[in-house]
Amino acid sequence: MQRIILFILTNLAVMLVLSIVLAILMPALGLNSSSNMGLLVISGVFGMGGSIISLLMSKWIAKRSVGARVIEQPVNEHERWLLSTVESQARQAGIGTPEVAIYESPEINAFATGASRNNALVAVSTGLLRSMTREEAEAVLGHEVSHVANGDMITLTLIQGVLNTFVFFFARIVASAINRGSNNQFVYFMTVMAFQVVFGMLASIVVMWFSRQREFRADAGGASLAGKQKMIAALERLQSNQSADKIKGELDGQLTAFGISGGRGMGSLFMSHPPLQTRIDALRGRTI
C-alpha cells in the first residue's frame, strides 16, 4: 500500500511540475496546443521531462519503495565487507563510490540506480546475502557497479523519454486524423488512449531490447571486476533458485530493469533480462 501511495504522489508531483513548465514555456515560444509544433513541445515536456525527473528522484524513490537502509557506519564485519567491495570495484571502474544499502526481502536480488555515474546507489536484498556465497555476492555487486559505470540508467532514461515523446505525439496525430470532422471529444479521447496503448507496447519492445543488451554488458563487467567464474556461479545460483522460488518479485518499474534478476512469465519481447542460461552461455563463450 505504501508503494502505491508513493507512486501516486510522485506522479502527481511530476505532472504538476511539468504543467507549470508548459504554462510558462508555451506562451514564451508563441505556441498553442492546436498546432503540430505546440503538440510536439507538449509531448517532449511530458515525455522527456517525466523520464528525467524520475531519474533525478530515482535514489530517493528506490530507498523508500523497498525500505532500503543505507550503510553509513557499518555495524558488523559483513557490512564492512559490502562497503569495501563496492568501493574497490567502483575505483576499478573509474566512478565515484555509490551509496550501499540493504533492504529486507526474501527475494535474491540487487539493483543499482541514480542520476549519474558519480551519484548512484547499489542495494542488495537480505535474501541475496543469506542465499549467496561471498564470492557470488561479489560478482553481483560487480554487475551492479558495471551498470553504473556503463551509464545504463541515463541511457535507458533518454531512450524511454524519446519513445514516450513520440507515443504521446503520434497517438494524438493519428486520433486527430481518424476523428477529423467530428467534435466528439469523448471518442477522440478514447482513440488517443487506444493508440497510446498500441504505440506504448511497441515502444516497450524497443526499451526491453536495449535492457537485455546492457545486461550482457553488465555481466561482462561483473566478470571483469570480480572474476568470470564468480559471475557464472552467481547466475547459476539464481538459476537454481528460480524454478523453486515462489516469492513474488518485489522490485517495481525501472528497478526491475536494473535488478540482477528480471521478471518471469512474460513474452520474450517484453523481458527486461535475457534468460539466465543465455547469459551464462554468453559468459562462458567470452574471453575475459
**pLDDT tens-digit readout, 92-141:** 999 999 999 999 999 999 999 999 999 999 999 999 999 999 999 999 99
How far apart (Å, rounded) are the C-alpha atoms in residues 21 and 257? 29
For range 44-50, the mean pLDDT: 92
Lowest mean pLDDT segment, chosen from 34-48, 63-77, 231-245:
231-245
pLDDT higher at 120 or 8: 120
pLDDT given for residue 25 in this prediction: 86
Record the pTM: 0.86
Of 99, 140, 91, which Cα lies nearest the Cα of 116? 99
How far apart (Å, rounded) are the C-alpha atoms in residues 73 and 79? 9
Lowest mean pLDDT segment, chosen from 19-23, 26-30, 210-214, 258-262:
258-262
Of 151, 152, 58, which Cα lies nearest the Cα of 99? 58
DSSP secondary structure code for residue 184 in this structure: -
Alpha-carbon distances of 68 from 39, 111, 218, rounded to whole Å: 40, 11, 22
pLDDT given for residue 287 in this prediction: 57
Residue matched to cell numbers 498553442? 32
pLDDT given for residue 242 in this prediction: 76
How far apart (Å, rounded) are the C-alpha atoms in residues 136 and 112? 17
User: Does pLDDT of 222 surpass 80?
Assistant: yes
pLDDT given for residue 246 in this prediction: 47
pLDDT given for residue 256 in this prediction: 66
Q: What is the dihedral of CA 131, 137, 139, 143, to 10 degrees?
A: 100
User: Does pLDDT of 263 surpass 80?
Assistant: no
| Exposed / middle / buried, residue 243 (Cβ in 10 Å: 0-12, 13-18, 19+) | exposed
Residue matched to cell numbers 487506444? 194
What is the pLDDT of the chain when averaged over all its residues? 89
Residues classed as catalytic? 144
